[in-house]
Structure 1
Amino acid sequence: MSSAHELWARIAQISDSIEGHKQAIRDLEIQQCAIKSELNTVLDLMARLPFEMVSDIFFQSTPNAEAASVLLAVCRSWSHIALATPSLWTTISNLGVPDAAFTNLLFSLWLQRGQNLPISLSMGPWKKFSDQDIDLLVPCLHRLQKLDISIDSEGDMGYIPYLHGFPMKALTHLTAHAMGEAEIDPNHPEDLLDIMRNAPNLVEFDMYRTSLDRLAMDFRGVLTHTSLRDLRFGKLEDGDGGLLNASPAMLSQLTLPSLQTLHFFSTAMHFEDMEMLLAFLTRSSPPLLSLQFGSYLGDEHGEIMVACLRLVPTLTSLSVLALAPDLLDILIHAPDLLPALVNLKIRGDIGDRTEFPRVLSVLTQRRTSLRDFQLLVIYEPAEKFEGFEHVAVAFRQLAAESGMRIYIGTREKNLLD
């Protein structure tokens, strides 16, 4: 019978043998993994592409960092490329969701992976946040290039009031909107203007589904911003062309000498609003190229509209929602108005078929300069097109002789075809 010492020795020997076999299995598994990777390289077309090309494909196909994170779970090669592509991690959304700890962790990871590239940030309207949230935001403001602010139904601006006074020199695009119609909280009337004041390189500002009508709009006097080129209050949705309302009240607080695009869509334009627009154009003297408005103007706005349009002789594109009663007469009787106008678009109701000869007069008068005209009816009023055929011939002839593109009809059908 073997002694205890001998048995312990045999056990140790077997254990060593087992460990050796385990190590051999691990080595074989490593070899197998390497061979599988090599096989994947042979079979996977993506793996044959240069790193830079795959990186660019990833960047073009991922709209935000959350989508980019899916790439990490595909395979080791894709994960390596994704983590080595900083541009994938520069669009960060949902900052401010109720699970603050998790959001902060992800936010920190995205900032690290994005290295020092400019970032685009979407901020939620939730009110629950901590000093840690602000501590995370402030150090990255110098990288902030695009900021999208969601406002809650009560007009609360979330984090924004706590960023007053912080410079945002890289910021070029600002968007403020609500999921439903909302008024900016009157307790924080300076929020948006403060961002503009601290973003000297801002070039584009969009605001929709929000209103400033209840505010006095007299915070610190008129703000002059020399870089802003595109300003939009409200917008038209794609598809059915629904109107996302926003009042242009902020115009009373702005002087924008570099403005090239001005769009505003609101359910009604009061005479006071037209006076505000006139005052804005007078003090700004902007080199405006595109003007769109979606307000339903009445006969009483004709004279002040002429005054506004005379202040923008550089205008090349004019788009209106609904045919303002005086607009055609203005264009007919003031042939020197808008000498640079190339594109004219009327979208919405057309009044009745008696408008067509007046439209024809406008186009005939401007045949040498106008290149594109659209009269786009959103809801087809069949009765308003009755008898249209007798003037359609004249429209077709004008288009053929002048080279002007003329579209009259619905989105689905040009009645001149």
Structure 2
Amino acid sequence: MCAHEIRLRIRELDIEIDLQNEVLKKLHHSKSCLQRQLNAIFDPISRLPLEISSEIFIQSLPTLPKRAASHVPMLLLNICSAWSAIAPQLWQAIRIDFPCADGMAELLSIWFQRGRSRPLTVVVDGDVGRWNENVSAVIWKHRPRLRHLEILDDWIYKSDYDHHNIDLRLGHREEEHLPLLEHLTFHGTSDERGCFRDHGEILELLYRAPNLVECVMDIQGTIFNDFRFRAENPDLPFLRSLTFGEQSDWYGWGADQWDDAILNHLTLPALEALSLPMRSVYGSHLRDFLERSAPPLQQLTMSWKYRGLDVHLHECLHLIPTLAKFTMWEPDERPVVDLIATLADFHYWLPNLRHLTIHMGSSSELSHIYDWFWLTLLRAVSQRRIQLDLFPRRRQRRSSLRSSNLMALKYISLIQNMMIAIFWSIVLS
């Protein structure tokens, strides 16, 4: 055969090979379809109605999403890829850990699409110094579906590389709101190397979430500048719970944490629970907030971080007759004594108070309080039927208590035995 004939024959064989490959592809597809049908016959999940099988998978979901590899949808896909369409609720929540893979934005789009129109829970964790702007774009694209958003920046372990703030792409258009957002958590810093550029950005995000129900702010940074970030402050008529940091951190962080100053820019007429470290909010600020908001506050937690801070306690508490649970962290001796005396002498003051917790500070240890205080305390809790928890801060031996103090404890034990609704919890170790 000449060279020309050989080339023609090779071309014919290539065409025949392509045809046979197409036949093989169709055969593989047919086999795969038949295999799925056979699996469906023996698969108990596939024989269940979609509503039941969906509910089974939904029951396996945790309250908050775990890391991607151990999150329920990923585990299910390792078993059967067809399960990706069984329950859209499986794709309502995702946890994004930074640094993340380059293809995270594309994966996030697929994840949200599988959730269809369901409300979304997004948790951002890790070192947000490697925040991915493409991820921001995807999250913000689906902002109308966001219901639960947590931004947790491990600021303690910052790297030395060029740092970037979180860019939520808030934009400047008024219509770019988050209508479904109900739960919002911040943990991180607010400075040139922090996860937020400034407190104004946080206020802007609050402004975009008018239906917010619960908010936790645990932000360390420079002092909050007293400025109005726009013509009006955020209107949050449905916010019921506001927490600034964790109580365990109130005495562990430095004096440069000023997140609670944001309270001066808020009006919260539906607030029921407030946890306030009083880092930068003075008593007059709290009083103004309560007068401005007139909230039906039921739970209040306050800290006396700075000794001698005048918190206008009586004025503030007088504005919240709905208060049912009051927690004091390391108060000075005088506020404790005044509070107990007022509770004992004025029955109309805080008529709904049922639970009082006092974490004593170094200046208000049990052995420092006058003897008559214990009799007043006994009268207050017995008349009011208040559940009282009292925790000394430092180690204190029982022998260091005065005899009348021990007698008061015995009286309280007698009251308990009489079935009066008082609970006394005291740590003496």
- What's the TM-score bracket when you normalise by the shorter of the two chains? 0.7 to 0.9
CA distance in 2 between counterparts of 1:394 and 1:128 reads 59
Once the two structures are superposed, what CA deviation does each residue of 1:324-369 show, in whole Å capped at 9, x if it has no partner? Answer: 3222332244324322111101124351324375255234224343
Please show how residues 21-60 of structure 1 align to structure 2 within 5 Å. Answer: 41=44, 50-60=52-62
The alpha-carbon deviation at position 247 of structure 1 amounts to 3.7
* SS at structure 2 position matched to 1:190: helix
CA 1:226–1:358 in structure 2 vs 1: closer, same or farther (change >3 Å)? same
Would you say the 8 A contact 2:58–2:90 is kept in 1?
A: no
User: Counterpart of 2:240?
Assistant: 229
1:126 aligns with 129
Residue of structure 2 aligned with 1:141, choices 143, 146, 155: 143
1:191-270 mapped onto 2 (5 Å cutoff):
191-211=201-221, 213-220=223-230, 222-237=233-248, 247-265=259-277, 269=279
- 5+ unaligned residues in a row in structure 2: which ranges? 1-25
Q: Is the Cα contact below 8 Å between 2:243 and 2:274 reproduced in 1?
A: yes
Amino acid aligned to 1:126:
G
Matches within 5 A, 1:404-415: 404-409=422-427
Verify: 1:305 aligned to 2:309, yes or no: no
User: Is the contact between residue 190 and residue 198 of structure 2 (CA under 8 Å) also seen in structure 1?
Assistant: no
CA-CA distance at 1:134 after TM superposition = 4.4
Helix, strand or coil at the partner of 2:149: strand
Quick one: structure 1 residues 62 and 233, their matched pair in 2 at CA, closer, same or farther if it must change by over 3 Å? closer
Kept after mapping to 1: 8 A contact 2:136/2:168:
no
Aligned partners of 1:61 and 1:160: how far apart in 2?
24
User: SS state of the match for residue 232, structure 1?
Assistant: strand
Kindly indicate whether the alpha-carbon contact (under 8 Å) linking 2:122 and 2:150 is maintained by their aligned counterparts in 1. Answer: yes
Q: Distance in 1 between matches of 2:179 and 2:356?
A: 36
Name the stretch that deviates more: 151-160 or 101-110. 151-160
Tell me how far 1:379 sits from its aligned partner: 4.7
Report the Cα distance in structure 1 between the residues aligned to 2:193 and 2:302, rounded to whole angstroms. 20
Deviation at 1:395, TM superposition (A): 1.5
Separation in 2, partners of 1:100, 1:36: 34
Map of 1:376 onto structure 2: 391
CA contact (8 A) 2:244 2:275 kept: yes
Structure 2 Cα separation of the partners of residues 310 and 62 of structure 1: 38
Q: C-alpha offsets along residues 94-138 of structure 1, whole Å, 9 cap, x if unaligned?
A: 26x3446321122112101111100011235335534x4444233
Deviates most, 392-401 or 354-363: 354-363
Q: Describe the shift of the 1:264–1:398 C-alpha distance in structure 2 as closer, same or farther (beyond 3 A).
A: same
> How many residues are treated as equivalent by the alignment?
382
- Residue 152 (structure 2) aligns with: 150
The separation in 2 between residues aligned to 1:136 and 1:186, in whole angstroms, is 19
1: CA distance, partners of 2:240 / 2:121: 19
Q: Does 1:325 align with 2:326?
A: no
After superposition, the C-alpha distances for 1:32-52 in whole angstroms (9 at most, x for unaligned) are: 99888877759xxx99x9514
Q: In 2 relative to 1, CA 326–39 (structure 1 residues): closer, same or farther, beyond 3 Å?
A: same
Structure-1 separation of matches of 2:318 and 2:423: 25
Pairwise CA distance, 1:306? 1.4
Cα distance change on mapping 1:51 and 1:187 into 2, 3 Å:
closer
**Distance in 1 (alpha carbons) for counterparts of 2:106 and 2:28:** 38
Q: Would you say the 8 A contact 1:297–1:325 is kept in 2? A: no
Corresponding residue number in structure 2 for 1:403: 421
Instruction: State the distance in 1 between where 2:82 and 2:135 align.
Output: 29
Seen in structure 2, the aligned counterparts of structure 1 residues 41 and 219 have a Cα distance that, compared at 3 Å, is closer
Q: CA deviation at 1:250?
A: 0.7
Cα deviation, residue 167, structure 1: 0.7
TM-score (normalizing by structure 1): 0.75
Most deviating of 53-62 and 86-95: 53-62
Please say which of residues 25-34 and 136-145 is displaced more in the overlay: 25-34
Shift, 1:152, TM fit: 6.5
**Contact 2:183–2:212 (8 Å) recurs in 1:** yes
TM-score by length of 2: 0.74
Native 8 Å contact 2:123 2:149 kept in 1? yes
User: Counterparts in 2 of 1:10-29, with a 5 A limit?
Assistant: none
Query: Is the alpha carbon distance of 1:84 and 1:182 closer, same or farther for their aligned partners in structure 2, counting shifts above 3 Å?
Result: farther
Pick which of 273-282 and 62-71 moved more. Answer: 62-71
The root-mean-square deviation of aligned C-alpha atoms, in Å, is 4.2
Asked if residue 351 in structure 1 is aligned to residue 354 in structure 2, the reply is no
Say if 1:58 and 1:88, in contact at 8 Å, map to a contact too. Answer: no
Deviation string 1:123-157 (CA, Å, 9 cap, x unpaired) is 35335534x44442333100001111234649964
Question: Match of 1:101, SS?
Answer: coil
Residue 70 of structure 1 pairs with residue 74 of structure 2: yes
Q: Is the 8 A contact 1:264 1:293 kept in 2?
A: yes
